[in-house]
């Protein structure tokens, strides 16, 4: 019901309008009638109406003054002006206050009802608009932190498409004149998704309001903080390390940067990744800075190339021939895009070759090192790529054979069963122990970790996410909820989308566009 107030100094008009209209039939409630603007103003302050029907000429406080005062405090109240033939100038003044509805005295019931219904429609339309805007704001408040995190991740990862949009997002997220330090955390290899996201929570608790971004990138947690004093930063990092060690019994190695403008974050990120690679010299669980690397006399490399050499080692050890081939091809694609001379290509290629050679058996190491000399004799990028691809295939094939022979027949049965039943929502180690291999669940869990090197829950999640990537990457991919069903997460598509984003860094829809 929309509330209506009548204001007129003539009682016959006030009472007449009040009596002639069946207010409730048309969706209105008459909350009162006032003989002048002063009493009307008092009544409005006690109970603001939606609509005021007011005369212009009244003693004490006339209609125009009433409209002006009410609009200052209650701009949403709509007015209907009662005017006579000689009051055109006053009515025109009322238009300046947004009044658009007039009733010429004398007026009948139908004219009043028509104006009221027009106002009712306008009020409903305004309410719909306000509700739409309110919901939009609520949705924006929910999604904005996710958009901010994704933008910051993309910007720091130096993705080209972000650069064009940077001025807009810089203003949106208040990044102008922002000075930050970049902190990169790397837990021990045993850390899984649970430990990584536990580390994020610990960082947020220890850094409180000084933390600007905390996000998981592969096996590391990246954090942007606003702390000028290095001693305060080191103290907070130590609290993070000690708390993480207490809850998860794992060490975490940390690298932190100097204070720079936000625009330097991509450079700082690559510097900190290089710092973490030196944990082999300073020890796991250390805190490393760029100064430590410079003091250690680490040699400066060729021009900057952003490539994750560790990902090649991981792919080789997993025995994944396709991934190794694709990763090496991507590496040389970058080299070609940069148009580096052959000498620089050889320097980077030697670094990649060394990573591959380090994966061989100890007894083969001496013979494999001869390949470094052999690579220097090749004079074309195509020849170098072919040479690296062959070496990568040899090393990966070796690991593939080792993995196959390493897994017992029981674990092979279990792995095969998982692949064939990924769509089963109830798939679990408990079910496999009781219904497939018929053994104690705890013993099976330890055996699985021993032979595969990871927890069953992590393995199952990865297999589901890899299968989801395949399905989403297909041209005729199903809807998200259908894909979630196909990988055993159909009972909660939203949880599936969250897991997929944590695993790939992208929402399912973003991943499909990117692939």
Pairing type for strands 51-55 and 2-7 reads: parallel
What local confidence, expressed as pLDDT, does residue 138 receive?
Answer: 84
- pLDDT at residue 330 tops 50: yes
- Return the minimum-mean-pLDDT range out of 181-185, 292-296, 324-328, 497-501: 292-296
Higher pLDDT, 90 or 275: 275
Residue indicated by tokens 């496999």: 432
Parallel, antiparallel, or unpaired for β 252-256 and 211-217? unpaired
pLDDT in tens, 30-62: 999 999 999 999 999 999 999 999 988 888 888
Show the tokens assigned to 134. Answer: 């309110």
* pLDDT of 295: 56
Give the pLDDT of residue 256.
Answer: 94
Distance of CA 32 to the CA centre of its chain: 53
Q: Which of 350-354, 358-362, 373-377 has the lowest mean pLDDT?
A: 358-362
Q: What is the pLDDT of residue 298?
A: 45
- CATH of 422-514 among 1.20.1530.20, 3.40.50.11540, 1.10.10.60, 3.90.1300.10: 1.10.10.60
- What is the pLDDT averaged over residues 321-331? 90
What local confidence, expressed as pLDDT, does residue 470 receive? 84
Whether pLDDT at 297 is above 50: no
For a pLDDT cut of 70, what percent of the chain falls above it?
90
Give me 344's structure tokens. Answer: 């620089």
Q: What is the 3-state secondary structure (H, E, C) of 140-198?
A: HHHHHHHHHHHHHHHHHCCCHHHHHHHHHHHHHCCCCCCEEEEEEEEECCCCCHHHHHH
State how beta strands 211-217 and 220-225 pair: antiparallel
User: What is the percent of the chain where pLDDT is above 90?
Assistant: 25
Residue 474 pLDDT exceeds 50: yes
Q: Note the pLDDT of residue 300.
A: 47
Q: How far is CA 324 from the centre of its chain?
A: 29
pLDDT higher than 60, residue 303: no
- The fourth-level CATH superfamily of domain 2-127 is Response regulator (3.40.50.2300)
Q: Quick one: residue 473, left, alpha or beta (phi over 0 = left, psi -120 to 50 = alpha)? A: alpha
Statement: residue 413 has pLDDT above 90 = no
Confidence of residue 237 (pLDDT cuts 50, 70, 90): very high
pLDDT band at 299 (very low <50, low <70, confident <90, very high): very low
| Average pLDDT of span 235-240 | 94
Average confidence (pLDDT) over 138-158: 80
- Domain extents in the chain: 2-127, 177-296, 309-403, 422-514
Question: Mind listing the pLDDT tens digit for each residue in 112-133?
Answer: 999 999 999 999 998 899 899 8
Report the distance separating Cα 222 and Cα 183, nearest Å.
6
Which pLDDT belongs to residue 294?
Answer: 66
pLDDT grade for 152, boundaries at 50, 70 and 90: confident
52: enclosing H helix or E strand: strand 51-55
Tell me which CATH homologous superfamily contains domain 177-296.
Reverse transcriptase/Diguanylate cyclase domain (3.30.70.270)
Q: Angle of helix 493-504 relative to helix 456-473, nearest 10 degrees?
A: 90
Mean pLDDT, to the nearest integer, of 274-290? 77
Residue with tokens 């933008």: 151
Which band of pLDDT confidence, cut at 50, 70 and 90, is reported for residue 70?
Answer: very high
Averaged confidence pLDDT in the chain: 84
Q: Average of pLDDT values for 189-208?
A: 88
């Amino acid at each position: 019901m929309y509330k209506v107030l009548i204001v007129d100094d003539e009682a016959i008009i006030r009472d007449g309008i009040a009596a002639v209209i069946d207010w409730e039939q048309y969706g209105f409630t008459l909350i009162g009638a006032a003989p002048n603007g002063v009493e009307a103003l008092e009544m409005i302050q006690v109970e603001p109406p939606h609509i005021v029907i007011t005369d212009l000429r009244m003693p004490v406080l006339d209609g125009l003054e009433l409209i002006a005062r009410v609009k200052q405090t209650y701009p949403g109240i709509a007015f209907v002006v009662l005017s006579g033939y000689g009051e055109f100038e006053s009515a025109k003044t009322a238009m300046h206050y947004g009044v658009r509805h007039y009733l010429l005295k004398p007026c009948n019931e139908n004219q009043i009802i028509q104006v009221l219904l027009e106002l009712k429609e306008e009020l409903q339309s305004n309410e719909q608009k306000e509700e739409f805007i309110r919901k939009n704001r609520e949705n924006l408040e929910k999604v904005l932190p996710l958009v901010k995190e994704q933008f910051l991740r993309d910007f720091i990862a130096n993705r080209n498409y972000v650069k064009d949009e940077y001025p807009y997002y810089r203003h949106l997220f208040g990044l102008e004149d922002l000075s930050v330090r970049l902190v990169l955390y790397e837990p021990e290899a045993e850390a899984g998704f649970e430990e990584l996201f536990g580390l994020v929570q610990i960082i947020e608790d220890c850094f409180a309001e000084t933390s600007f971004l905390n996000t998981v990138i592969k096996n590391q947690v990246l954090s942007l903080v606003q702390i000028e004093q290095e001693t305060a930063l080191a103290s907070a990092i130590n609290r993070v390390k000690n708390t993480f060690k207490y809850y998860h019994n794992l060490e975490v190695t940390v690298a932190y940067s100097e204070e720079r403008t936000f625009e330097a974050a991509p450079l700082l990120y690559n510097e900190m990744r290089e710092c973490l690679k030196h944990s082999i010299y300073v020890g796991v669980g250390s805190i490393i800075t760029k100064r430590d690397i410079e003091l250690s006399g680490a040699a400066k490399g060729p021009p900057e190339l952003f490539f994750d050499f560790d990902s090649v080692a991981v792919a080789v050890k997993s025995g994944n021939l396709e991934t190794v081939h694709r990763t090496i091809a991507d590496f040389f694609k970058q080299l070609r895009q940069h148009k580096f001379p052959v000498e620089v290509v050889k320097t980077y290629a030697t670094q990649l070759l060394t990573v591959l050679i380090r994966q061989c058996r100890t007894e083969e190491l001496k013979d494999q090192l001869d390949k470094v000399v052999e690579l220097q004799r090749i004079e074309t990028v195509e020849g170098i790529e072919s040479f690296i691809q062959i070496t990568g295939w040899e090393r990966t094939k070796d690991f593939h054979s080792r993995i196959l022979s390493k897994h017992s027949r029981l674990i092979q049965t279990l792995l095969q069963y998982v692949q064939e039943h990924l769509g089963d929502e109830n798939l679990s180690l408990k079910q496999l122990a009781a219904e497939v291999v018929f053994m104690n669940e705890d013993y099976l869990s330890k055996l699985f970790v021993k032979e595969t090197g990871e927890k069953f829950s992590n393995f199952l999640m990865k297999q589901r996410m890899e299968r989801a990537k395949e399905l989403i990457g297909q041209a005729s991919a199903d809807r998200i909820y259908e894909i979630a069903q196909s990988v055993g997460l159909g009972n909660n598509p939203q949880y599936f989308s969250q897991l997929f984003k944590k695993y790939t860094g992208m929402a399912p829809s973003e991943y499909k566009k990117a692939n």
